Amino acid sequence: MEVIKLQGTDDTPSITLDKKAGVFEFTGRSLPEDVNAFYEPILDWLSEYAEGPNEQTIVTFKLVYFNTASSKLILDILLKFEEITEAGAEVLIKWFYPEDDEDMAEAGEEYSDIVEVPFEKISYTL
């Protein structure tokens, strides 16, 4: 599978999806002008990955901000990982949030309630 490595900007997150290296990371801010166009290749890649995932997939989210439109696409991404779990592979979501950011902590809590994937919520100091 082709590796996806997107460099973050002020409006888009850095994203690395590398099956061979086992790296699945989303970091930064997510408020792209056209969220569907931005996330479509990511969702397509995850659909392909779901057909033959690694035995264990650890996904790191270290987002400092995302807008409402991005929140729906983040849920879609998490639902892809739920599909992988349902197919019998092991998935762990590591949700990092700044220790003083109640909104990001709460977002991780809400996502973990919605999707049937193990979540590890980790606070850090900026």
Can you give the CATH number for the domain in which 15 is found? 3.30.750.24
pTM for the whole thing? 0.96
From CA 97, how far away is CA 65, in angstroms rounded? 10
| Cα of 85 vs its chain's centroid, Å | 15
pLDDT tens-digit series, residues 62-110? 999 999 999 999 999 999 999 999 999 999 999 999 999 999 999 999 9
101 class by beta-carbon count within 10 Å (0-12 exposed, 13-18 middle, 19+ buried)? middle
Q: What letter does residue 90 receive in the DSSP assignment?
A: E
Average pLDDT on 17-31 reads 97
Residue type, 67: N
Residue 93 host element (H or E): strand 90-98
The rounded percent of the chain whose pLDDT value lies above 90 is 99
Q: For residue 41, which amino acid is it? A: P
Torsion of CA 21, 50, 42, 23, to 10 degrees: -20
Mean pLDDT, all residues of the chain = 97
Q: Which residues contact 32 (CB under 8 A, 6 or more apart)?
A: 11, 12, 38, 39, 70
Q: What domain range includes position 98? A: 4-124
pLDDT (0 to 100) of residue 30: 98
Percent of the chain residues topping a pLDDT of 70: 100
pLDDT of residue 103: 96
Q: Is 7 left (phi over 0), alpha (psi -120 to 50) or beta?
A: beta
Q: How many angstroms separate the CA atoms of 33 and 28, rounded? A: 15
What pLDDT was estimated at residue 88? 95
Task: Answer whether residue 126 shows pLDDT above 90.
Answer: no
How many domains is the chain partitioned into structurally?
1
